């Protein structure tokens, strides 16, 4: 199974794209403070799922899934 076949990864990518689209329309101050933080947090979900998927052990994968959940 490929990473891009995982539904949870697809949802995380969709969420990150949606949040970016919303935050990019905010005024400068809001975008520069809260906007950047929420975009990075949403990007982190998909990144952690991806990194965990590349691990060779169940324990390593579980750890990064835990990170993405947070």
Q: What would the pLDDT profile of 15-69 be if each residue is shown by its tens digit?
A: 999 999 999 999 999 999 999 999 999 999 998 888 887 777 777 777 877 777 7
pLDDT of residue 13: 95
When divided into structural domains, the chain yields a total of 1
**Cα separation of 64 and 70, whole Å?**
10
Instruction: Show the domain range for 42.
Output: 3-69
Question: 11 pLDDT band (50/70/90 cuts)?
Answer: very high
């Amino acid at each position: 199974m490929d990473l891009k076949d995982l539904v949870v990864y697809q949802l995380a990518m969709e969420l990150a794209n949606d949040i970016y689209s919303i935050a990019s329309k905010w005024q400068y101050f809001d975008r520069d403070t809260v906007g950047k933080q929420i975009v990075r947090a949403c990007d982190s979900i998909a990144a952690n799922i991806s990194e965990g998927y590349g691990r060779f052990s169940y324990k390593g994968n579980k750890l990064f899934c835990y990170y993405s959940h947070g």
